[in-house]
Amino acid sequence: MSGPPSRLTLERAWRHELEVKHSRFVAQAAPVTSPEEAQAFLQSVRAPEATHNCWAYKVGPLYRFSDDGEPAGTAGRPILNALEAQGLDGVMVVVTRYFGGVKLGAGGLVRAYGGAASECLRQAPKRVLVPRVRCALQAPFEFSQTVFHLLEGLQRETETYTEAGLAVVFTLEESRLPQFLDAVRDQTRGRALLRVLERLEAC
């Protein structure tokens, strides 16, 4: 049974400039893991002196976009379309326009904003988003060394000792979960309990 399909995000922030009839369009994109991160990136790159700072982001099922004063549907939506067309997730794009004195019309704006965003995203280095799960593993004290051996190389959040034994919260690549479950069951003779707490959208 295959796991969830791979998704792509950006390796790092990227910038691309485009000039259309004397208007300058500056596209800036960055990987983000939440709407709050997307808004923080907007605040860090928006140019108050520019005519418009239009943007769009997509983080898992969440997305938003803004025309920032441009005619409705001519800026934010084309930027989002560029994101979706390249199959990207966990990305924020801001396209800043410096007006050059020549009106572009609705079609021209769609092409300019969408084109600037699309080219910026096309050039930017990508990486695969690996789906991860956050898990809790509980085991009797006698299996402590076994548990730590199983968790080698994994990101551990907390380790707690209770009367029942050892409890560890950690994250794991989702594709490795079935094999990990088998190993826990086999090496603790079925006496450890593994629970999946949540699925993480991005790593």
pLDDT on residue 7: 78
pLDDT on residue 33: 86
- Average pLDDT on 82-96 reads 95
3-state secondary structure the chain: CCCCCCEEEECCCEEEEEEECCEEEEEEEEECCCHHHHHHHHHHHCCCCCCEEEEEEEECCEEEEECCCCCCCCCHHHHHHHHHHCCECCEEEEEEEECCCCCCHHHHHHHHHHHHHHHHHHHCCEEEECCEEEEEEEECHHHHHHHHHHCCCCEEEEEEEECCEEEEEEEEEHHHHHHHHHHHHHHCCCCCEEEEEEEECCC
How would you class 4 by CB atoms within 10 Å of its CB: exposed for 0-12, middle for 13-18, buried for 19 or more?
A: exposed
Residue 56 has pLDDT above 90, yes or no: yes
- For 127-185, how does the pLDDT look when each residue is reduced to its tens digit (9 = 90+)? 987 778 889 999 999 999 999 999 988 888 889 988 889 999 998 888 889 999 999 99
Residue 122 has pLDDT above 60, yes or no: yes
Sorted by where each starts, the structural domains of the chain and their CATH numbers stand as 7-129 (3.30.230.30), 132-200 (3.30.70.240)
The overall average pLDDT reported for the chain is: 91
- For 37-46, how does the pLDDT look when each residue is reduced to its tens digit (9 = 90+)? 999 999 999 9
Residue 1 has pLDDT above 90, yes or no: no
| pTM higher than the cut 0.85 | no
- Average pLDDT on 48-61 reads 94
